[in-house]
Copies of this chain bind each other. A is one copy, B any other.
Amino acid sequence: MSWNSFGHIFRVTTWGESHGPAIGCVVDGCPPGVPLTESDLQHWLDRRRPGTSRHVTQRREPDTVRILSGVFADDRADGPVTTGAPISLSIDNVDSRSKDYTDIQKVYRPGHGDFAYDAKYGVRDHRGGGRSSARETATRVAAGGIARLVLGAGVTVRAAVVAIGGDSINRDAWSWDEIERNPFWCPDAAAAARWETALDQARKDGSSLGAVVEVTAEGVPAGWGAPVYGKLDGDLAAGLMSINAVKGVEIGAGFAAASMDGRTAADEMRAGPTFLSNVNGGVLAGISTGQPVVARIAFKPTSSLPTPKQAIDRDGRELEVTTTGRHDPCVGIRGAPVVEAMTACVLADHFLLHRGQTGRPSSAF
């Protein structure tokens, strides 16, 4: 509890609405002595920032993060380090155009949280989706930057978009470097070229496309996570499902494992230990095995479209709604850095939990 926090020792609480003065988060439980400056976090925010290509929302937000607490240049340190106190991060909203939303003040946009929020609370901030806006995810990306520093250089968390609109990459062509060369977080240059066409067409059609993001965490030692309701994959599932527009999460082979034969799904072991496969995505019985932790996340296509949709308003009247705000034609693209950040946060928390209960920083192996 409550509703806007996650994690246990490394615990993140976020706040803010799309069109309020700012958004932010408080990161509690961070180990002391971690060197941390705003530029460490800005790096990751810049990768999620809107307005960087025609394939993402044209909202112009610099997403400049400020550290308001929890960091100090102690007389024993070379520069600012975390003090163990809560780290408050704040990002101003500078390009919110609330007027874009005046027309839909009383309207429940289909596929959005509008109706559900109103049914729950009896009141809602309609401007840009209010609290349910994907703008909130900027704060997670900032928190994820801290989580990466807690994990250290030994753990690498990277996400890629592996399918858009049902068109999947060729996994044999996977190149992490390629991700930096296209605006889609796509590790396959050929797929990126096809997606460019597909997204231009979708925009032309007044439509949008779904996507699948894959995240891999390398360097996670065996032993993180815990039975039974503190499983590493359980916490990952919750964290990844909390991202806007996500409708599914799978670990390792995921749903494909349900079609497998038991003789091929076991991830046999040889001395090392090494594993002959990674069907289980680096997690067995909720605990990391030392293999890469792999998850895939399904993003639905955004429902914010310039095409008229059947809807109702707060008074129950039927009408049609056309969304005219600035939106991502494929929310999964900017979802990739958010997936990375959530994965890093969950891992950092489980590192500290494991150390707390067992006194072991890592695997016995």
Contact = CB atoms under 8 A, between A and B. Distances in A.
A288 interface: yes
The 7 tightest CB contacts between A and B, nearest first, are A356-B356, A113-B285, A208-B262, A166-B259, A248-B250, A3-B230, A111-B266
Interface in A19-77: 20-24, 26, 28-33, 66, 68-70, 72, 74-77
Interface string A323-365: 0000000001000000000000000000011111111110111
Contacts of A303: 262, 265-266
A266 B9 contact: no
Contacts of A231: 241-242
B123 A316 contact: no
A15 interface: yes
Given A20-B68, A247-B253, A248-B257, 4 more contacts: A15-B87, A76-B122, A202-B262, A260-B301
B228 A262 contact: no
Nearest to A211: B258
Contacts of A357: 9, 29-32, 84, 352, 356
Contacts of A281: 247
A361 to B, nearest CB: 7
A270 B226 contact: no
Copy number in the complex reads 4
Nearest to A25: B26
Contacts of A242: 228-229, 231, 234, 286
A161 B23 CA distance: 39
A2 B28 contact: yes
B116 A223 contact: yes
